[in-house]
């Protein structure tokens, strides 16, 4: 199909200093969990975006010196010749498809602990980030930077920029955002210096200007120089000479960089989840930049709609449409717009599982795109699958996230697929969960797969078809896939921090009961030790429906795990706004309709709450009775010509949506595959020379 003419503006080239981006699609720097220890995985991951039409593809954050060490988080380095060779794999992969490659040079300053290098960190005034997220906590405090340290920083940046040019990068960054060292000079709480680098904004911005200048000198006109800067906090601060300190900073540096990459200050706002922020949420903060500078501006906003993208260009907000999460969910988003296939875009759902993977220090994962991070190690391509390895017919039982992904991928391979759903509506757990506050966007997981399946002639979908083992034996399929989901349990939480003992009293419910429409009598207590989104979302849901709600958890925070996905601050605010009372570090010990007994997790001190309905959001177990009844009859399976019965998704091991989708996709990729190809390849750092031990140390 031809491209819709109203999207032509998105495919115009944009000059960025000495280089030119072939279009306005810009995959901004973002962490991928693939460091220099995984150079081939990283190259394939970024190269796939270039293949998909992104005109610029950037790395994640790259340390310029061992004094910027984010261990154990997965940061990259550009310290030596081996690092140059590792990054060159990525630039080659990006250039192969005609895109520009960008590198985000980074120094963490007082925001890192240098746990591995053991070099004392430094910041403008010895101030450190006193984070509440345990991943960022540490005991090492930074020292105050002196004049020598400033000269060293400029030298490190210059040397790293030179290495970046040698590695083949086209755009080289100075990173003054997200609490890192150049940003620390811009913010008065971080920067209390009395020399030429402290005090008024014109002094505080000096280090950023000098970093840009040494970068420009180092790349010698062969690379563009970009400034990535956080503006949220600065825009909130008044200035005596401009509309805000953000305006003042941009005015002072207006045409110094070749490109402005503008963003917000903290991960929960910069990468806000869809539960709490809509597409384009950055605009109120960054909309002034293009009015001041003549240089091109790139920014993000979880853009998935081409109309929204065009709006950003036409209204003079951005020159380049930046993306991290949307480029993960669909690396081929630009090509699909270019080919008139907007309906095929696999839209980001804003669940932030990708961000949690960085917190977990593992390669990036995505709920919508199960191939991400698997391009090199498993050979998975987001748009191509191997043809069917046989003429087998496959029955998939259950049309939830795992079953839908499995059926779609099998059908794309060319198998004849029957998808049987017990209820009248497909979607499994998504049917209910997308009706909870803020989770409607997660319905894209269902909508995209339903739309894709409807266009394939080799899929038969049967709704309202609850199959028993005997019926499956009679249907004549070669392979049977069980995707029947999981159920929530009425279990309590023991002092061993595991589920223990069913609570079979009256008025005890699970999320399954709420999904089924069961009425809960007030007051309601939600006891959450699942720790992900469900407990908090249900508490908010019930409160907004008019219930009197208390939230109880043995963790120290509401929905404790969602700090990994940038949701924790917003969840606390949402429950406060809904008048939900919160009881942390507490476990339920007893319940009789009318009273709930709690014990402090550490001290055992007892609390009693008025409660007539207890909703337990804790343990989940597979709905695998159909699977068990089939595998218990091997002779009947053989007689029916059934070669395999397999569980996927929650029916195998209950987890998040991302696990269900991945499970379904992996089964479909590996059906009839050569067993020797099923294990993934292990990546390793590039080494140009043998590693020798220091003198006096036994190697």
Positions marked catalytic: 180
Rounded Cα distance, 652 and 227, in Å: 47
Q: Other C-beta atoms within 10 Å of 361: how many?
A: 16
User: Of 354, 360, 359, 351, nearest to 401 (Cα)?
Assistant: 351
Cα–Cα distances (Å) from 96 to 40, 178, 219, in that order, read 15, 32, 22
Ramachandran sector of residue 302 (left: φ over 0; alpha: ψ -120 to 50; beta: rest): left
Return the structure tokens found at 451. 């739309």
Q: What is the DSSP letter of 675?
A: G
Residue pair 208/246 in contact by the 8 Å Cβ criterion: no
Rounded Cα distance, 39 and 106, in Å: 18
User: Of 195, 159, 147, nearest to 62 (Cα)?
Assistant: 159
Helices and strands: H and E segment counts in the chain: 25, 30
87 CB burial (10 A radius; 0-12, 13-18, 19+): buried
β strands within 579-643, DSSP E: 581-583, 586-592, 594-600, 606-611, 613-617, 620-622
- Residue 175 bridge partners (DSSP): 228
Residue pair 61/87 in contact by the 8 Å Cβ criterion: no
Return the structure tokens found at 698. 């036994």
β strands within 601-695, DSSP E: 606-611, 613-617, 620-622, 644-647
Rounded Cα distance, 504 and 515, in Å: 19
CA 59 to chain centre: 15
Return the structure tokens found at 149. 């340290």
User: Of 49, 650, 692, nearest to 397 (Cα)?
Assistant: 650
Q: Other C-beta atoms within 10 Å of 91: how many?
A: 24
Residue pair 513/614 in contact by the 8 Å Cβ criterion: no
Q: Other C-beta atoms within 10 Å of 381: how many?
A: 16
Cα–Cα distances (Å) from 187 to 190, 476, 659, in that order, read 6, 69, 40
Assign 522 to helix, strand or coil. coil
Write phi, then psi, for 458 (nearest 5 degrees): -100, 25
Assign 508 to helix, strand or coil. strand
Rounded Cα distance, 567 and 558, in Å: 10
Rounded Cα distance, 186 and 234, in Å: 8
692 CB burial (10 A radius; 0-12, 13-18, 19+): exposed
- Cis amide leading into 72 (omega within 30): yes
Rounded Cα distance, 314 and 302, in Å: 18
Rounded Cα distance, 241 and 319, in Å: 27
């Amino acid at each position: 199909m031809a491209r819709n003419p109203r999207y032509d503006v998105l495919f115009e080239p944009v000059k960025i200093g000495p280089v030119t981006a072939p279009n306005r699609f810009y995959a901004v720097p973002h962490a991928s969990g693939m460091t220099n220890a995984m150079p081939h995985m990283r190259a394939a991951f970024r190269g796939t975006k270039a293949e998909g039409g992104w005109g610029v593809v950037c790395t994640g954050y790259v340390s310029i010196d061992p004094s910027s060490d984010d261990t154990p988080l997965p940061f990259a380095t550009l310290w030596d010749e081996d690092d140059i060779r590792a990054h060159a794999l990525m630039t080659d992969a990006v250039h192969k498809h005609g895109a520009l490659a960008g590198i985000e040079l980074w120094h963490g300053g007082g925001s890192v602990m240098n746990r591995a290098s053991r070099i004392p960190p430094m910041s403008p005034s010895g101030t450190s980030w006193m984070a509440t997220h345990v991943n960022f906590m540490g005991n090492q405090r930074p020292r105050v930077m002196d004049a020598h340290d400033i000269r060293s920083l400029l030298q490190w940046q210059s040397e790293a920029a030179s290495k970046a040019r040698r590695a083949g990068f086209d755009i080289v960054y100075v990173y003054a955002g997200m609490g890192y060292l150049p940003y620390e000079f811009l913010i008065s709480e971080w920067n209390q210096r009395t020399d030429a680098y402290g005090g008024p904004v014109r002094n505080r911005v000096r280090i950023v200007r000098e970093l840009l200048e040494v970068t420009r000198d180092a790349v010698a006109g062969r690379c563009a120089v970009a400034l990535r800067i956080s503006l949220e906090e600065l825009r909130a601060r008044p200035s005596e000479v401009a509309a805000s300190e953000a305006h003042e900073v941009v005015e002072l540096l207006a045409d110094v960089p070749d490109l402005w990459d503008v963003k917000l200050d903290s991960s929960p706002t910069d990468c806000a989840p869809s539960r709490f922020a809509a597409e384009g949420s950055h605009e109120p903060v960054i909309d002034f930049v293009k009015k001041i500078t003549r240089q091109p501006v790139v920014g993000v906003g979880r853009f998935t709609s081409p109309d929204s993208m065009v709006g950003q260009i036409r209204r003079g907000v951005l020159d380049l449409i930046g993306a991290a999460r949307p480029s993960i969910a669909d690396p081929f988003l630009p090509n699909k717009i270019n080919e008139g296939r907007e309906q095929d875009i696999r839209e980001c759902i804003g669940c932030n599982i990708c961000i949690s993977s960085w917190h977990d220090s593992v390669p990036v994962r995505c709920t919508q795109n199960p191939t991400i991070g698997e391009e090199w190690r498993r050979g998975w391509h987001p748009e191509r699958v191997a043809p069917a390895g046989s003429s087998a017919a496959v029955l998939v039982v259950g049309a939830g996230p795992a079953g839908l992904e499995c059926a779609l991928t099998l059908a794309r391979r060319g198998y004849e697929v029957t998808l049987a759903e017990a209820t009248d509506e497909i979607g499994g757990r998504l049917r209910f969960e997308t009706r909870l506050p803020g989770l409607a966007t997660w319905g894209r997981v269902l909508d995209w797969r339903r739309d894709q399946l409807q266009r394939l002639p080799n899929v038969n979908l049967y709704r309202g078809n609850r199959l028993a083992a005997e019926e499956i034996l009679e249907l004549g399929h070669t392979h049977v896939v069980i995707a029947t989901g999981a159920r929530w349990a009425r279990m309590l939480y023991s002092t061993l921090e595991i589920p223990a003992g069913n609570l079979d009293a009256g008025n005890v419910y699970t999320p399954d009961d709420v999904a089924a429409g069961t009425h809960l009598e007030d007051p309601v207590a939600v006891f959450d030790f699942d720790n992900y989104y469900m407990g908090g979302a249900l508490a908010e849901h019930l409160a907004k429906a008019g219930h009197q709600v208390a939230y109880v958890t043995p963790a120290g925070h509401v929905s404790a795990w969602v700090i990994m996905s940038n949701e924790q601050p917003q969840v606390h605010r949402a429950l406060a706004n809904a008048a939900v009372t919160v009881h942390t570090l507490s476990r339920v010990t007893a319940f009789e309709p009318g009273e709930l007994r709690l014990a402090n997790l550490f001290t055992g001190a007892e609390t009693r709450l008025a409660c007539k309905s207890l909703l337990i959001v804790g343990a989940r177990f597979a709905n695998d009775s159909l699977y068990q009844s089939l595998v218990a009859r091997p002779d009947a399976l053989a007689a029916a010509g059934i070669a395999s019965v397999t569980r996927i998704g929650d029916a195998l091991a209950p987890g998040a949506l991302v696990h269900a989708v991945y499970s379904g996709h992996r089964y479909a990729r590996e059906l009839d595959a050569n067993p020797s190809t099923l294990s993934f390849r292990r990546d390793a750092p590039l080494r140009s020379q043998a590693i020798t031990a220091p003198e006096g140390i036994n190697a």
